[in-house]
Amino acid sequence: MPRVVVLTGAGISAESGIPTFRDADGLWEGHRVEDVATPEGFERSPMVVHRFYDARRAALAEVEPNPAHHALAELERRLGDDLLVVTQNIDDLHERAGSTRVLHMHGELLSALCLGCGRRSRWTHDLGDLPPCPRCGSCELRPDVVWFGEIPYQMDRIQDALESADLFVSVGTSGAVYPAAGFVQYAARCGARTLELNLVPSAGTSMFHESRHGAAGVLVPEWVAELLR
């Protein structure tokens, strides 16, 4: 069986009802990136930022994984350690579908990071009422998400996985944000075959050996079935 790295973006959760960022009605249509997704925005108006992520955390309770998440969980059951999912998403839909080998390079909504002690805690409630850190007691929790200008998580592990991958598949991402947008070139240089599964051609579509366009809920189960045939 091949060693596979799957990169996922907001498009894989769109059919579950979570808005993407850059499509019509996407999150960046209604919010300024610099207000809600930068360290400077948080310093200026922490409440605006907390309200934005608190609403998104609460909305997670209303959504379910879709066939694309389930297909990747099935693929992990078959490939085991030979599959790694690297997600830019901060939702927990991969885990709820049953995936366990998932790296959240942009952090997680269900985690809070304490600016006092630097430790993380699982977080399912609001942060806007400034609750104390369960570990050190200071009221300096922030969403444990990677904002613009910050360094994505787990880059060493991601790089190692890309270097040893036989196949790199990108699902539901516009290819607008680096470093994730550069993974396709890196994986290909290291010898992987590369495949894009996205609703429309992404910014980097020409960098893939193959691109298929359509809904993730259809394309991902089809591709998984093909791989396991």
Nearer to ligand APR, 37 or 133 (CB): 37
Write down the least CB distance from residue 203 to ligand APR, Å: 8
Write down the least CB distance from residue 73 to ligand APR, Å: 17
Q: Is 106 a catalytic residue?
A: yes
Write down the least CB distance from residue 98 to ligand APR, Å: 20
Nearer to ligand APR, 88 or 99 (CB): 88
Beta bridge partners of 169: 6, 195
Binding site for ligand APR (CB under 6 A): 9-11, 14-15, 20-23, 26, 88, 106, 172-174, 176-177, 198-200, 202, 215-216
Neighbouring CB atoms inside 10 A of 208's CB total 24
For the chain, state the CA radius of gyration: 18
- Burial readout 136-163 (b: 16 or more C-beta within 10 A, e: otherwise): eeeebbbbbbbbeeeebbeeeebeebbe
Nearer to ligand APR, 20 or 194 (CB): 20
Write down the least CB distance from residue 197 to ligand APR, Å: 7
Nearer to ligand APR, 93 or 133 (CB): 93
**Which candidate in 104, 106, 209, 213 is catalytic?**
106
H-type alpha helices, 98-163: 155-163
SS3 state of residue 103 = strand
Neighbouring CB atoms inside 10 A of 102's CB total 22
Q: Which residue is nearest to ligand APR (CB)?
A: 11
Q: d(Cα 84, Cα 165) in Å, to the nearest integer? A: 9
Give catalytic residues, as residue numbers: 106
